[in-house]
Amino acid sequence: MLKVAIAEDDFRIAQVQERFLQEIENVKVVGKALNAKEAIEMLEQEPIDLLILDIYMPDEMGTDLLPRIRERFPEVDVIVVTAATERDILERCLRNGVVNYLIKPVKMESFIEAIEGYQKKRSLLQARDEVDQSFVNSYFGYDKQQSPVEKVLPSGIDGITLKQVKAILKGLTEGITIEEMGKKMGVSRTTARRYLEYLVSVQECHVQYDYGIVGRPERKYHLT
């Protein structure tokens, strides 16, 4: 279970981010802070894996808060979600080890993709006691062994995850719904739908409707 906290001075945005996080498997929102002081107090009180951090807060800039977080809570990873577009702010965030930087307004799909990408990298790293260069290349996303097909995949479609989806589909005889695929992959419905619909668009998958249940028919995806 990934424990996530939100530091955002606009409570409406914080609520939206919390709803986005609730769409993702194995994620628990453990707290929300409206300013930098509350963010530090929250980190002191609760074990947190990932902090969603705004830059413009009423009592302290997030860029000034980051070094303190790095010093006092080195195990906490940070994803910045901000309206700041200045290059120097991005550079300061990168130097203080943020794992991603999202510019507001952030669509749900982009937000979920960033969190799930972090989950995947975290799981990969935690599963290794030692690493080699091939693993490092893959972790940082510049694996030279990537196939020509993977190189032309559209944004939001990862080659490794796509192979996982195809493998799940190959093991089925009666097709699968979006909800079922999301559970098997350990991702949100939004992500599962994106991969299944991509396979439909390239004619590697087709949809059938199951009318056996009272109410709306279920869309089931089958390999072509």
Ordered structural domains, the chain, with CATH: 2-125 (3.40.50.2300), 148-223 (1.10.10.10)
Cα 158 to Cα 164: distance, rounded to the nearest angstrom:
10
Per-residue pLDDT, averaged over 102-125, amounts to 91
pLDDT at 210: 75
pLDDT at 212: 62
- What does each C-alpha distance from 196 to 34, 71, 118, 176, 216 come to in angstroms? 38, 42, 21, 10, 20
Residue at 151: amino acid letter = K
Per-residue pLDDT, averaged over 128-155, amounts to 72
Per-residue pLDDT, averaged over 208-214, amounts to 69
pLDDT at 216: 67
Cα 16 to Cα 144: distance, rounded to the nearest angstrom:
38
Residue at 39: amino acid letter = A
| pLDDT score of 149 more than 80 | no
